[in-house]
Amino acid sequence: MRVKAQMTMVMNLDKCIGCHTCSVTCKQVWTNREGVEYAWFNNVETRPGVGYPRGYEDQNKWKGGWNLTASGGLQLAAGGRLTKAAKIFGSPDTPEIADYYEPWTYEYDKLLSSPLGQLTPVARPTSLITGEDTKITWGAAWDDNLGGSASTMANDPILKSMSTHVRAEFESAFMFYLPRICEHCLNPACVASCPSGAMYKREEDGIVLVDQDRCRGWRLCVAGCPYKKIYFNHASGKAEKCTLCFPRIEAGQPTVCSETCTGRLRYLGLVFYDADRVSQAAAVKKTDLYQAQRDLFLDPNDPEVVAAARRDGIPQDWIDAAQKSPVWRLISEYEVALPLHPEFRTVPMVWYIPPLSPMVDVVAQSGSDGEDGKTLFAAISQMRIPLEYLAGLFTAGDTRPVEKSLRRLAAMRSGMREVALGNEMPAEIPAAVGMTDTQLVAMHRLLGIAKQAERYVIPPSHAESAQGRDYECPVPDGMMPGRATAGPVPVTVGRKPE
Ligand code: SF4
Ligand code: SF4
């Protein structure tokens, strides 16, 4: 067992109102510069929908992430070293600007400085890339709130894999928002794809960064990332990505998207994982991926894990923080948070609590009590459309973990209603979902009313622990197409050393 710490995020989708505040504040801080006008390190998608860039989840088209080889190992879906080398000057698997959208501005000055005339002046859109007039045909949140989805929803890669009947029914059945940032994966395909060794995963907290000095703009990381969370800056010629606001994290502060989230739905904390088992967990069969990736996490309260963490150089205040981590509780103790597309095999580290509210709404609209435990439990099991869709997003198609998570959320809702009415929580409610009433109350506190200090447990960085240590990519030798050897990548805070 080799213990490592990872800064991890959980988002509670029940509370996302799709206001895009997180996207806008992130953009203001990180991508408000020439060359990244089209880049959204944080974006919020309406689901069902095609997402951003368009249809990014369709790996038959983009060949991002990892595939299982015939011998049970992992290989980049884009191919091995020779295949990648052959495509280095023009990868057909990289999204074009039209797949994101052509950024534009308006001729605002015309509104202010046009001479007096009969007609009201008009500010026409101009391309931020060419400076010419442009026609706006697509944007980062084009199908927001299902707008225009009658024509675009059919291109949702998850819906495509469901039946025609489901596709026809879906728009009236279910809708929710999915905020996305870089997943800061444990097995990052972007790092493995980079021919220049510019991409790296920080030793101390697992944040994935691009060394701007080393980046040569090959863009193989853009193709390699199945979540399409790396952006090419056409002005600087370098790749850029979400940094998990590392300067803030190092100071013990939450990311900008978390701090400004109006729904207070983001949680940040450390998880410990066994670095020796990452590639193994990424290489199990599809239906076992969720469980294998969850099993990677180590219980920070287990004395054996604590001793191993000390042995592996993790400072005591980080161990304390891991023991208080809200993320650990939501993923491993309550088992309500699930990974996004574990089938991409990058072992993502931003997990999601699936939305229950749309189901409650359907039950309430049918005239039944939407907060009643028994009614809700039955509805969750019967509503196959959202269950299958959520499983397509979070558990590689296995509906059981999704159902378990939703049932636990339903139990919390109906149990806490009894408490709010001044009654005892009926013993059968927590028992029906394999929890205790104390756990349900604690989960309600964390999901419903927790203050900032409980939602973000971020120990300040130890500069000394970041120096002179190596990150060893879990992918075996010979599978890293960009590097002559798959040896350790040296890491320091913020900038990769020579
Ligand atoms: S989600 Fe982030 S860490 Fe994972 S492969 Fe993409 S860019 Fe890399
Ligand atoms: S700020 Fe929060 S509530 Fe608003 S879209 Fe972003 S994640 Fe959702």
**Residues 267-299: pLDDT tens digits?**
999 999 999 999 999 999 999 999 999 999 999
Structural domain includes residue 353: yes
Give a yes or no: residue 411 inside a domain.
yes
Is residue 286 helix, strand or coil? helix
Give the total number of structural domains in the chain.
1
**Taking the CA of residue 10 as centre, how many other CA atoms within 13 Å lie in the half-sphere pointing to its CB?**
28
Cα of 188 from ligand 1 centre, angstroms: 5
Is 382 contained in some domain? yes
Indicate which ligand has the atom closest to the C-alpha of 264.
Answer: 2
Across the range 137-147, mean pLDDT stands at 88
Atom of ligand 2 nearest to the CA of 23: 6
Query: How sure is the predictor about 353, in pLDDT bands with cuts at 50, 70 and 90?
Result: very high
If you measure from the C-alpha of residue 207 to the centroid of ligand 1, how many angstroms do you get, rounded to a whole number? 10
Both tokens of residue 331?
Answer: 């993923």
SS3 46: strand
Please tell me the predicted confidence (pLDDT) of residue 170: 65
| Confidence class for position 464, pLDDT limits 50, 70, 90 | low
Measured in whole angstroms, how far is the alpha carbon of residue 441 from the centre of its chain?
Answer: 27
Which residue's CA is the nearest one to ligand 2's atom 2?
A: 261
Ligand 2 atom with least separation from CA of 263: 3
Asked if pLDDT for residue 486 goes beyond 50, the answer is no
Determine contact, residues 345/77, Cβ cutoff 8 Å. Answer: no
CA distances to 265, 361, 445, 446 from 449, rounded to whole Å, are 11, 22, 5, 6
Tracing tokens 């080398």 back to the chain, one arrives at: 85
Weakest mean pLDDT among 163-172, 308-317, 465-474: 465-474
Is 138 within a domain? no
**What average pLDDT score do residues 391-413 get?**
95
CA of 44 to the centre of ligand 1 (A): 17
Give me ligand 2 centre to Cα 15, in Å. Answer: 8
293-320: average pLDDT: 97
Q: How far apart are CA 482 and CA 336, in angstroms?
A: 37
Residue 468: pLDDT over 50: no
Q: What tokens were used for 288? A: 């076992």
Report the range of poorest mean pLDDT among 100-104, 152-156, 385-389.
152-156
User: Which residue minimizes the CA distance to atom 6 of ligand 1?
Assistant: 225
> Which pLDDT belongs to residue 12?
97
Taking residues 453-463, what's their average pLDDT?
93
Q: What is the pLDDT of residues 23-54, one digit of tens each?
A: 999 999 999 889 999 999 999 999 989 999 99
Nearest CA to ligand 2 atom 6: 22
| Burial of 123 from C-beta contacts in 10 A (0-12 / 13-18 / 19+) | middle
The pLDDT of residue 83 is 72
**Cis preceding-peptide flag for 179 (omega within 30 of 0):** no
Residue 476 pLDDT level (bands cut at 50, 70, 90): very low
| Token duo for residue 281 | 């967990």
Which one of the ligands is nearest to 262 CA?
Answer: 2
pLDDT value of residue 483: 35
Say if ligand 2 is within 6 A of residue 235 CB: no
User: Using 50, 70 and 90 to split pLDDT, how confident is the model at 378?
Assistant: confident
Tell me which of 149-153, 185-189, 335-339 is least confident. Answer: 149-153
pLDDT value at position 231?
97
Residue 477 confidence (pLDDT) above 50? no
- What confidence score (pLDDT) does residue 153 get? 74
Shortest-distance Cα residue to atom 1 of ligand 2: 261
CATH of the domain at 366: 3.30.70
CA–CA distance, 195 with 219 (Å, rounded to integer): 9
Q: 325 and 300 in contact (C-beta within 8 Å)? A: yes
β-pair partners for 338: 352
- Which of 199, 346, 352 is the pocket-test mutation for ligand 1 (most atoms within 8 Å of CB)? 346
179 Cβ below 6 A of ligand 2 = yes
Q: Which-ligand-closest: CA of 263?
A: 2
d(CA 406, CA 398): 14
- 378 in contact with ligand 2, CB cutoff 6 A: no
Whether 470 has a pLDDT exceeding 80, the answer reads: no
- Whether 21 shows a pLDDT value over 60: the answer reads yes
Q: Is the CB of 21 under 6 A from ligand 2?
A: yes
Q: Please tell me the total number of residues recorded for the chain in this structure.
A: 498
Compute, in angstroms, the gap from residue 347 CA to the centroid of ligand 1: 9
State yes or no: cis peptide before 48, omega within 30 of 0.
yes
CA nearest to 304, candidates 263, 329, 274, 265 = 274
Q: What is the pLDDT of residue 171?
A: 61
Residue 449 in domain = yes
Dmax over CA atoms of the chain, in Å, equals: 80
Burial of 116 (0-12, 13-18, 19+ CB in 10 A): exposed
Q: Which of 188, 201, 240 is nearest to 217 (CA)?
A: 240
The rounded Å distance from CA 253 to ligand 2 centre is 18
Pocket around ligand 1 at a 6 A CB cut-off: 182-185, 188-190, 208, 225, 227, 229-230, 241, 346
What integer pLDDT is reported at residue 165 of this predicted model? 61
Q: Report the predicted TM-score, pTM, of the whole model to 2 decimal places.
A: 0.90
- Select from 10, 20, 21, 357 the residue to mutate for testing ligand 2; criterion: most ligand atoms less than 8 Å from CB: 21
Which tops the pLDDT comparison, 218 or 84? 218
Span 205-226, average pLDDT: 95
For residue 163, name the pLDDT band (cuts at 50, 70, 90).
Answer: low
pLDDT tops 80 at residue 451: yes
| Residue in this structure with the two tokens 């193994």, named with its chain if needed | 280
Predicted confidence band of residue 230 (pLDDT cuts 50, 70, 90): very high
pLDDT of residue 465 exceeding 90: no
Q: What pLDDT sits at residue 473?
A: 45
CA of 183 to the centre of ligand 1 (A): 5
Establish whether residue 261 lines the binding site of ligand 2, counting it when its CB lies within 6 angstroms of any ligand atom. Answer: yes
Instruction: Supply the pLDDT for residue 373.
Output: 79
Q: What is the DSSP letter of 473?
A: P
| pLDDT (mean) for 163-184 | 79
SS3 at position 356 = coil
Q: Does residue 267 lie in a domain region?
A: yes
Task: Judge whether residue 149 has pLDDT over 60.
Answer: yes
Give the Cα separation of 35 and 87 in Å (integer): 24
Given this model, what pLDDT does residue 381 score?
Answer: 79
Domain hosting 400: range is 263-455
Whether 436 is in a domain gets the answer: yes
Highest mean pLDDT among 35-44, 134-143, 167-176: 35-44
The pLDDT mean for the chain works out to 88
When pLDDT is cut at 50, 70 and 90, the band that residue 377 belongs to is confident
pLDDT digits (tens, 9 = 90+) for 434-448: 999 999 999 999 999
Band the pLDDT of 491: cuts 50, 70, 90. Answer: very low
How many whole angstroms from 473 Cα to the centroid of ligand 1? Answer: 14
87 inside domain:
no
